[in-house]
Amino acid sequence: MDKVLVVDDDLGIQKQLKWALSEFDTVFAADRSAAIAQLRRFEPAVVTLDLGLPPDPANASEGLKTLQEIMSLLPRTKVIVVTGNNDKENALKAISMGAYDFYQKPIDSDTINILIKRALNLASLEHENHLLTLSNPAMGRIIGNSEAIQNISRKAEKIASTDISVLLLGESGTGKEVFARSIHDHSQRKGKAFVAINCASIPENLLESELFGYEKGAFTGANKTTLGKIETAQGGTLFLDEIGDMPLGLQAKMLRFLQERVIERVGGRNEIPVDIRVVCATHRNLQTMVQEETFREDLFYRVGEIVISIPPLRDRDEDVILLARTFLSQYKEEYGNKIKGFSEDAIEAMLAHPWPGNIRELQNKLKSAVVLAEGNVINADDLSLVAKKSEEDTVVLNLREVREQAESKAIRRAYHQSEQNISKTAELLGVTRPTLYSLIDKYHLEDLKANA
């Protein structure tokens, strides 16, 4: 049953509505702070909001502030504002701020029930449409509503139909292989093989034969001719993960393959034509490696015809909650668990955690929590996370420190949205390159210095 939140400081009206709305799962709040707490806890589909809230019930300002906060936190919630007979102006203002409808006192049970049922039906339709969008987005495997993810998803969708080489950059655990598979799934090669190989996980002396295959007798133990990963991807897509770890000596052979689209197996003499699309990924800074001569410059430009930078989870706003709910649904079905959702402290803890291990860390914590949780909701302890302290406890009063934190975060976000391009980052931030260089030095953003 969908939740309905009633926000009204009049206990008499609360009792009246509790009786009148008996067919709904209703919760109550008497002021703005209680309303927001209930909103975070229950995520109601519909809210009835009396604009005349304390401390000054005669003034609608507190009610309008509450509406603004509700729309900011849960924009799809349907808010029905309740006003006095002579307060049409504030009712219309509330509608312009995003309220679904308004209702003038006195309360009539039949009318308010009809309004709520209509609002619930619309909320249900929008929720189903939202789930459909999430299950069939432009790049089907990619989950996220943040602006950064939407931008790179649109870019990935555009290049999927081409055979252009793509280089995916991002920290470990950010989902580079998911993007690579999504590009393959939306390409003309989707009916063919997707073959992945991690260049960092295979010993240097074996990587060449893994990639290019080998002829019978090429070396001790080569008892039969064996195809490499490149040949097995024929007609499809080859995903070279952690290409930054590819040995320098092997890079020359890889460059020839990418240029000529032919290979020679280890111990072989015949050129074998191969028709595949190549997608590469790395967590390393290849431009720095080129300068240090540990990665070939010509190979860098060959694999990076288009570069996509995938942001870390900490820079993806509230995508962490969307991802967490997706993984929860997956794991509770996998392990036969009936966990209903997350407690408020779990949500706050996930939003506050920096996620150094990115999506992979989130998956591991969710899997563990689903298996070990004793209640019907997952709390912060189940996730082995520290619940976020109250705003009063955590607020920083030193304005210099507040400014430094905000500027550092903004610089990092702009850097990732600009695909690690310093000029574009400066343009996005509205500063000159020299100013950006100074800020990078000032805030000790060491990982950005390489590209500066």
Q: Per residue in 386-434, pLDDT tens?
A: 865 544 444 554 566 677 778 888 887 777 677 678 888 888 888 888 8
For the chain, the domain total comes to 4
Do 189 and 305 belong together in one domain?
yes
Cβ(153)–Cβ(142) below 8 Å: yes
Residue 235 lies in a domain: yes
Helix boundaries (H) for 136-270: 147-160, 176-185, 204-212, 229-232, 248-260
Q: Residue 110 is encoded by which pair of tokens? A: 């039949």
Query: Is 89 inside a domain boundary?
Result: yes
Residue 150 lies in a domain: no
- Give backbone dihedrals phi and psi of 405, rounded to 5 degrees, phi first: -65, -45
Give the pLDDT confidence score for residue 136 in this predicted structure.
43
Question: Is the omega angle on the peptide bond into residue 312 within 30 degrees of 0, that is, cis?
Answer: no
240 — pLDDT class (breaks 50, 70, 90): very high
pLDDT of 42 strictly over 50:
yes
Residues 297 and 199 in one domain: yes
CB 84 within 8 A of CB 52: yes
Half-sphere exposure of 105 (CA within 13 A, CB side): 16
The percent of the chain in helix, strand and coil, each rounded to the nearest 5, is: 50, 15, 35
State whether residue 107 is helix, strand or coil: coil
The token pair at 22 is 């008996």
Give the CATH number for residue 174: 3.40.50.300
What's the confidence (pLDDT) of residue 238? 97
**Residue 257 is encoded by which pair of tokens?**
């393959």
Q: Could you give the CA distance from residue 177 to residue 441 in angstroms, rounded to a whole number?
A: 33
Question: pTM here?
Answer: 0.60
In the predicted structure, residue 107 carries a pLDDT above the cut 70:
yes
Angle at CA of residue 131, ends 307 and 335, nearest 5°: 90
CATH number at residue 108: 3.40.50.2300
- Name residue 410's amino acid: A
Q: Which of 132-146, 159-173, 419-433 has the lowest mean pLDDT?
A: 132-146
Asked if 149 and 126 touch (Cβ cutoff 8 Å), the reply is no
- pLDDT in the model for residue 43: 87
Whether 142 maps to a domain, the answer reads no
Token representation of residue 362: 């989130």
By the 8 A CB rule, do 306 and 161 touch? no
| Domain end marker among 309, 338, 363 | 309
Q: Based on the fold, state whether residues 262 and 173 are members of the same structural domain.
A: yes
User: Over 50: is that where the pLDDT of 18 sits?
Assistant: yes
* Maximum average pLDDT range among 137-141, 154-158, 276-280, 423-427: 276-280
DSSP classification of residue 220: T
Q: Look at residue 149 and tell me if it is in a domain.
A: no
User: Is 359 a domain residue?
Assistant: yes
Torsion-angle region of residue 444: left (phi > 0), alpha (psi -120 to 50) or beta?
A: left
Residues 272 and 244 in one domain: yes
What is the token pair recorded at 83? Answer: 């006003």
Q: Are residues 345 and 375 in the same domain?
A: yes
* Residue 452 pLDDT exceeds 70: no
| Domain residue limits at 36 | 3-134
Q: Greatest CA separation found in the chain?
A: 94
Question: What single letter denotes the amino acid at residue 383?
Answer: L
